[in-house]
Amino acid sequence: MKLPDAQQLKAWDAYTIQQEPVSSTDLMERAAMACTGWLLTHFNNREFMIFCGKGNNGGDGLAIARLLLQHGCAVKIFLPQTANPVSADHAVNLLRLREAGGNAVEISTREELPHITQGIIVIDALYGSGMNRPLEGIVADIVNHLNNSEAVVVSIDLPSGMLVHESSVGRLMVKAAYTLSFQVYKLCFMAAANAAFFGRLVVLDIGLHPLFLHQLDTVYSMTTKEKTVSLLKDRDAFSHKGTHGHALLIAGNKGKAGAAILAARACLRTGAGLLTVDAAETIIDILQTAVPEAMTKDRREKAFSNRFSAIGAGPGMGTGKEETDLLTGLLNDTDQPLILDADALTILSVHKQLLEQLPPGTILTPHPKEFDRVFGACSHEFDRWNRAVALSVRYPFVIVLKGHHTLIAWQGKGMFNNTGNAGMAKGGSGDVLTGMLTALLAQGYTAHDAAILGVWLHGLAGDLALMQQQSLESLLPSDLIDSIGAAFNSLRG
């Protein structure tokens, strides 16, 4: 699913108007009907206050107000008086509202702001995706008034003041409980910093022409189940353990055997035919007991060979001289695909020259702080995403930037994942992902396909574990491993 920017969203409206054809006012009516249907389903028999700007977002609000009135709802409409011109569709819907018996109250000063009681449903239709400047004047006063109220606020398109394709950190924005957006997700909804402002997101289909999106080239997109299913390989009934790759995990050290165990179990559950774990001598016995299906290699044996189909390094590995020398030697000795996580990324952050030695097809899996340590501090999420995408052009590797919507950056494009939940925010979840990605690379998936599939399955396993028996509080990384099989079956089913 592509994530258009503000200009592309505007062009999509224009394309739909031209190609159907449909008038811009009738297209606005579709959006208003979709919003009204949702509002009546969730807040029937409630009183509404609707704040409408002078642009098309305000036109949506006026159309919603008319439709709510026609359904017998109590509705009060307020229009901030600003220097902005009134859009044509806004003017049409204001006339229609008055013809339907509705009345809009103009507000130009703070003293004219209405009292908002707790049971009121407030609809924010001040500014939508076309907004690109800070809120000021009476509009800023209205937004502060809404944010200080105890009412439920529903924003139309996106919270007023929020930018579609840029960071909104530090800006005045409506703090909505719900956001009713249109047709597709927007980049701003991928940002953790915006989550407290858009609240629960609802994407409504308003019938924009699908061909436009199909033809559109966007930097950012979102993974879909259909895309993920298309990547799955079938298993030959006559295959054997050697057919599905021999994975090597460099993981675990004194006090960190758990990281190696989680990665190893996840690797095997994700289908690697053979697995060897390179670990500190002190935890070899623990590994052999906890994961009997895996072979082990004492880390003091420095030699590597290209007999491994894929190599994952980092979980609980350590960051001392021995581990640094090991990673450096690995990059000198092998051209096999790599997955670098955790301690391996910490070593990269200190020895950045190693970035130039990473073989094509390497996957890096940093969380935001690790990303900043390796590639330089970023001021906000949008900066980090854009840098990851730019780096994926400069270097022949895939960056898996972990988060609620994990970003997969590759060859100048960024794809956000849409599975997973807050229960996965526990130490060890990243170790599970490393094991899964290593297994997929070992089985012959390309780095990009392995990243898309692995991240989706990882999140889906978490969702299934949560659905079947766990809570957000109780979910453990080992529960993800136990649900990997169910995640594969869910994709294939």
Per the annotation, binding residues for AMP are 402-406, 430
Beta carbons of 35 and 64 less than 8 angstroms apart: yes
> What tokens does 191 get?
């940002």
Query: What does each C-alpha distance from 138 to 108, 141, 197 come to in angstroms?
Result: 6, 5, 20
> Which residues sit in the known binding site for K(+)?
57, 124, 160
> Which residues sit in the known binding site for (6S)-NADPHX?
56-60, 128-134, 157, 259, 316, 367, 431
The single-letter DSSP state of residue 113 is P
Beta carbons of 357 and 373 less than 8 angstroms apart: no
Helical axes 257-269 vs 484-492, angle rounded to 10°: 30
E-strand stretches of 108-208: 121-125, 152-156, 178-182, 200-204
> Which residues sit in the known binding site?
56-60, 124, 128-134, 157, 160, 259, 316, 367, 402-406, 430-431
- Count of beta carbons in the 10 Å neighbourhood of residue 212: 18
Cα-flanking dihedrals φ and ψ of residue 255, to 5°? 80, -5
DSSP of 180-193: EEESS--GGGG-GG
Beta carbons of 388 and 175 less than 8 angstroms apart: no
Is-cis flag, bond preceding 21, omega within 30?
A: yes
- Count of beta carbons in the 10 Å neighbourhood of residue 421: 16
Which has the closest alpha carbon to 158: 132, 139, 176?
176
Beta carbons of 330 and 308 less than 8 angstroms apart: no
CA 196 centroid distance within chain: 15
